[in-house]
Amino acid sequence: MSQPGMARPRDPRPAARAMIVAPQPDAVEAGRDVLAAGGSAVDAAIACALVQGVVDPMMCGIGGLGVLHVHHGPSGRREIIDGLSTVPAAATPTMWSDRFEGVCADGFGYRIRGAANELGHGAVTTPGILRVFEAAHASYGRLPWPALFAPAIARAREGWAIRPHVHTMFTADESVYGRRSMAEKLAFTAEGQALYMEDGAPKRVGREVRNPALAATLAQLAEEGADCFYRGDLARRIVADMQRHGGLLSAADLAGFRVRRGAPLVIPYRGRSVALPPPPAGGIVVAEMLRILARFDLTAMAHNSAEYIRIVAEAMKIAGRDKEAHVGDPDFTPVPVARLLSDDYADACAARIRRGERTSIAAPVPESPDTTTLSCWDAEGTVVSMTHTLALPSGVMPPETGFMLNGAMNWYDPRPDRPSSLRPGARRFSSMSPTLVYAGERPVISIGAPGGAWIGVAVLQGLLNLLDWGMGTQEAVMAPRFSATTDAIDIANRIPRKVEAALAAMGYAVRRSPQSFPFAALHAITGWDGVLEGGADPQRDGYPAAI
């Protein structure tokens, strides 16, 4: 620390022209190298995401799904590219209704007898993420498509070391919640066993993984393009494996998949514009919470005080209840976006909170926390926020391809006639909320998080920390969080016990997490006054890198 009267030492580093942040160091490095080579933010995001699929194989990959949010600097164009997966056409609304056993204990998934919706070929939905990459690159890329695959190919071929958070996921025993263990999914195929298991258990921290089959698959995609996966050789190999094992995914499902492209939802908040992905992605939940909280002077209270938590938690519960009641795939069920985000509705909700009324909310519609995220800015002002996932990994690795397919059928309710029921071609609601914030026409924040149903509450608190409390970026993403996705309020271990006691005295059930950084994993970049600053969740393994 400087002595009184002494000038603060000058930072010798040049101001950043571009930046990327993600939870995996190898992926951050790949994105940074693409930026340094003259690639756009979209190029860097794709390269980063491809490496994420190599080094975080239970979180994401080419067999997964996701949402990309982009602001194109040169043109000012703002776009959401939605690659959320779809239910195969062979599925029927009642196919598992007689096997329904309940919702998983933590709200992440539906239990059916035999777990066919979670483990194995019947769990796979139509993957969308490669079509997202293809569409984004065609519109906003600068480097050749094959160049974006080179870092991922190198990591798959040369190897990577198991990181602490990867090991945490590999060894997660989710049987207590009613799901299969991750080790069972890793070992579901002989290929998975050889890659990720050792002496009957997942490989330990520091052990190396080399995946030459995935390197070959990525090289094929680099040369032939995404069509190889949806209509070409890879599609045929995926479908052949599905047919051998009674899977639902067909050649027609793959060939017919299309991304959805459109404008983001935009709402005002504290003099800024917050842009979010529309349904069935999770932006509407964040938007509704912000609309309600704009009616309160939050900084008149202490940050994370009992009253502050009460007000924000009630906004979380109102938006969560409305999501359960109204939000699904707009192709099947109209979503009342205008009403949920209207001034009148926000005023009414805020008035209820002021009166001390409490909203009751059942356990959230299940959703997997096995997800990852990234944010990237380039020197031309293009900004990307992207979240992508395998949902619950299915364990299925088509022979000699090196990648795992998603298990997103677990997201759909086996009971018919519900908002998230199985319907051929339907996209399920996802909390994924890659978000951009604008000051006028200029983006100033890019933020997103993995973490299932906690994504919305985490992104909300990151935005409040930045826009209301004026925190720096790293401080904003690591500040203690809380969650109200049920009637109970869950709090991080760093929230003082006196606050917990005060909430309990108000009559709330309060659950203290043993973790210091729970409830999703925020990653963000800010660009106030043109100065880039990044922040990465400390409980993951990533960091922001600049050029």
Q: Which residues are catalytic?
A: 371
Residue with tokens 């992905």: 277
The DSSP element (H or E) to which 311 belongs, if any, is helix 306-326
The DSSP element (H or E) to which 198 belongs, if any, is strand 197-198
Q: How many CB atoms lie within 10 A of CB 30?
A: 30
Pairing of strands 160-161, 442-448: unpaired
Residue with tokens 């020197």: 379
Rounded Cα distance between 476 and 544, Å, is 14
Torsion over CA: 458, 370, 525, 291 (sign) = negative
3-state secondary structure of 373: strand
Cβ neighbors of 401 (< 8 A, separation 6 or more) are: 213, 214, 217, 234, 237, 238
Rounded Cα distance between 35 and 25, Å, is 15
Torsion over CA: 70, 228, 407, 163 (sign) = negative
Q: Residue 439's beta-bridge partner residues?
A: 442
The DSSP element (H or E) to which 209 belongs, if any, is strand 208-209
Helices (H), 355-413: none
